[in-house]
Amino acid sequence: MPKFFALIPAAGSGSRIGEDLPKQYLHLAGKPMIHHAIGTLCSDGRIAHVIVVLSPDDSHWSQHDWSEFSSKLILLNCGGATRAESVLNGLSALETSIAIADDDWVMVHDAARPCLTSVQLEKLLDELTNDEIGGLLAIPVADTLKRSNTNQRATTTEPREGLWQAQTPQMFRYRLLTNALSSADGINVTDDASAIEALGLHPKLVLSDSNNFKVTYPQDLALAELILQKRKIP
């Protein structure tokens, strides 16, 4: 039976949020942001290990206590210059550090999506376990879409039918994802699914909801804090 692994790329600096601390360490609901994603992934009974990919010069991880996750957590200090590079470096390092098979599943999840729920995670696993290719959590685009000219004036309204916003986790088999990211050099790969699509394959879109958003701009912090605090109340 194929095993399940989660991999969290956490080697970014959070430039758009504009804080001194890399955003994965900003405090949300009393914990560093990345703690929330690690907690949700580690608490899933099907996931064997959760791999965190840090920047080689990370000086923040060791300032926190991660012992509650020690049975599942694997730490790698091999992050790269882009998200895709961090994921690929992590996947490559796994080949020599743990027993991972070509057809084992890897769920790649952004450290910057702290509001992922166990329900969303289980839905992804349930819908993809027997899938040929794999897929990702996503939501249909809700807003009306405008195309602008260079003066920031709307020229046309784009049809939103068939358009989705990609989220994470994104779940693919170990060898397929490693090969896809290795051969995606030069393509603008902002998520794992785009490397799979570049091979001509069609990842499945698993319906999620907007609470699993990516904390990107300063104003996103307050919403994430609100969602996480609300969940703490029984």
CA distance 232 to 212: 17
Count of alpha carbons within 13 angstroms of residue 4, beta-carbon side = 22
User: Does 169 contact ligand CTP by CB under 6 A?
Assistant: no
Residue with tokens 């959590």, as numbered in its chain = 137
User: Which residues ranging from 100 to 129 are in contact with ligand CTP (CB under 6 A)?
Assistant: 110-112
Out of 128, 214, 221, 227, the residue judged to bind ligand CTP by CB under 6 A: 214
Q: Which of 29, 9, 26 is nearest to 17 (CA)?
A: 26
Count of alpha carbons within 13 angstroms of residue 47, beta-carbon side = 29
User: Does 19 contact ligand CTP by CB under 6 A?
Assistant: no
User: Does 56 contact ligand CTP by CB under 6 A?
Assistant: no
**Length of the chain, in residues:** 234
Closest contact distance (angstroms) between CB of 26 and ligand CTP is 11
Q: To which H or E segment does residue 207 belong?
A: strand 204-207
Which of the ranges 65-73, 75-83, 195-203, 224-232 carries the binding residues for ligand CTP, by CB under 6 A? 75-83
Residue nearest to ligand CTP (CB): 12
User: Does 10 contact ligand CTP by CB under 6 A?
Assistant: yes
User: Does 216 contact ligand CTP by CB under 6 A?
Assistant: yes
Closest contact distance (angstroms) between CB of 156 and ligand CTP is 28
Cβ neighbours, 10 Å, residue 202: 12
For 96, list phi and psi in degrees, rounded to 5.
-100, -15
The residue (of 129 and 216) whose beta carbon lies closer to ligand CTP is 216
What's the Cα-to-Cα distance from 211 to each of 45, 83, 146, 221, 231, rounded to whole Å? 23, 22, 24, 12, 12
Out of 11, 26, 128, 184, the residue judged to bind ligand CTP by CB under 6 A: 11
Out of 4, 5, 9, 105, the residue judged to bind ligand CTP by CB under 6 A: 9
User: Does 82 contact ligand CTP by CB under 6 A?
Assistant: yes
User: Which residues ranging from 171 to 210 are in contact with ligand CTP (CB under 6 A)?
Assistant: none
For 144, list phi and psi in degrees, rounded to 5.
-70, 135
Which tokens belong to 209?
């909801």
User: Does 83 contact ligand CTP by CB under 6 A?
Assistant: yes
CB 47 within 8 A of CB 6: yes
Which of the ranges 80-88, 121-129, 146-154, 220-228 carries the binding residues for ligand CTP, by CB under 6 A? 80-88
Amino acid identity, position 173: R
Give the residues across from 105 on adjacent strands: 4, 173
Out of 79, 134, 135, 203, the residue judged to bind ligand CTP by CB under 6 A: 79
Q: What does the binding site for ligand CTP look like in residue numbers (CB under 6 A)?
A: 9-16, 23-24, 53, 79-83, 86, 110-112, 214, 216
